[in-house]
Structure 1
């Protein structure tokens, strides 16, 4: 009976993966490299949600390869920054996977555009499941890259999953902290959090009454005159040909308005000090989010942790500015630690 149940589960997972509507054409925000082979793949996470990913393999590679799973920024899709990172690292000899999170992009999950500290952390480990069982991959040489909000999730995944031998958290947000405390911890009080909880609880009631969740709104089409510089930076990426993508939440109507609920009560950095494997935190000198990366780094222990600040870079420069992104450093970091 156990074998029968396992076979049934496998059949159901395969059926779900076949039903994903994957785009055949190249629809990335970056040009296709002639140095790698690209293909679409699918795999299921521990919750039975089927994820869609782009796999990049170096051309003419032989033997089992070190591998890297990439995700982010938070609210983005694999056709944006994550894909650029994955393709570039594949050009440098790694088998890479850029995946869409659960409920987002081409991945499965209903209702759409849900976020969760638990499920999104699991998405990284599901990518590791796929890589560790791939015939082209050395299962002892797997790392991850998390960009923006996925940088914090990458650190959380590294704390939970020792198969992740090396982690890069890049231009990171701590999504628990920003949702619970506001930007720059300006709303770090029980009073402010309880006011937010009441607002979110009222929205839940309204969503249930309507039968569908209200979108929270992505980057606006028109910025207000008093928009802070980092909002302008987001607009310059997500709302222009530079980074716009029709499936990106940040480019369009955003994740669900109640998305902050789980992050308020579930701190992502709670076990960061227990990560034994290597971690590299990279942030821009001028990034509004720099404090997230620096404070996360302070929680890390051991002599295999490193903080790199990129002079003059803002938050979104590290999404796609090839003259600033330290790919040489990341290549050396992964080769030194995936062994």
Structure 2
């Protein structure tokens, strides 16, 4: 027998906190009619998204389940501070998660011994990097993750001809290097002139954008009215993005892991590689063969099922 998630039994507070001298904006969801101290969860969203996108879907539902839930804008994005705007660097986003942990554990409603972290999309690989080094994290969940290793980069980035025309015969490795070269040139331009090179995050036709293809374009544009979001990103951020990998962090992970993944995602092999790499802790894979990446971001039924699994998992591992 399944039970439906309850909705609306929480209060939302606009909050802010500092991360490396930058002010970050967040939405704190606090359960009503419950007694403190409560378990807490920090949620990091997908690449170049904002807190009002998929993080809010999970924060509201988990707050209904009794968790103090924080969704926030990473530095340089949304309502958070930082220049240049639209800079997306994995290690910087990981540092923002650590700052969010610092802040939420100081809240009077929160039990500091019961903290979970969730990463969605690219946030999944970044929170693995956090959890393998931060023993304040007692449980970890990755949802529809973009997991970073050379093979997944070749599939997700190199196989999309961002900088090489279709049919050019350029290999995935050449396309990855072309994207890195583009980022190096953009970084040099910023250092020399203070000018930022921007490209769209998504576009249904263009292949030089951050996330080529119709499916990402449909989802991001469907969210464009939620929060302070722009369809552009700082190209120089690709340099740090392409240098990041999460497989070594998965091997070092000692925090209980719940991985939620769908069968209709383009990088299922990378998810499996990361799941198999985790050998030092309890882990569980919640697999939906017919779910796509973006169903975990905005489909109510898929998210409700995901939150039921998360609430059960966290309940067992944050006791």
TM range (shorter): 0.7 to 0.9
Aligned match of 1:109: 82
Are residues 1:322 and 2:296 paired? no
In the superposition, the TM-score normalised over structure 1's length comes to 0.80
In the superposition, the TM-score normalised over structure 2's length comes to 0.85
Cα distance in structure 1, aligned partners of 2:288 and 2:152: 26
Report the aligned-residue RMSD.
2.6
- Greater shift, 230-239 or 210-219, is seen at 230-239
Aligned match of 2:41: 68
Q: Any idea what the Cα deviations from partners look like across 1:2-21, whole Å, max 9, x if unmatched?
A: xxxxxxxxxxxxxxxxxxxx
Cα distance in structure 1, aligned partners of 2:152 and 2:81: 25
Aligned match of 2:229: 248
Shift of 1:180: 5.2
Shift of 1:192: 5.3
Mark the CA change 1:195 to 1:179 in structure 2 (over 3 Å): closer, same or farther. Answer: farther
Mark the CA change 1:337 to 1:243 in structure 2 (over 3 Å): closer, same or farther. Answer: farther
Shift of 1:239: 1.6
Q: Any idea what the Cα deviations from partners look like across 1:108-148, whole Å, max 9, x if unmatched?
A: 12222212222111111111111111111000000011100
Mark the CA change 1:244 to 1:298 in structure 2 (over 3 Å): closer, same or farther. Answer: farther
Are residues 1:147 and 2:120 paired? yes
Aligned match of 1:30: none
Gaps of 5+ in 2: 1-6, 160-170
Cα distance in structure 1, aligned partners of 2:67 and 2:213: 34
Mark the CA change 1:63 to 1:129 in structure 2 (over 3 Å): closer, same or farther. Answer: same
Cα distance in structure 2, aligned partners of 1:175 and 1:260: 13
Shift of 1:224: 6.6
Gaps of 5+ in 1: 1-32
Q: Is the 8 A contact 1:294 1:307 kept in 2?
A: no
- Greater shift, 138-147 or 104-113, is seen at 104-113
**1:22-101 correspondence runs (5 A):** 34-45=8-19, 47-101=20-74
**Secondary structure of residue in 1 paired with 2:228:** coil
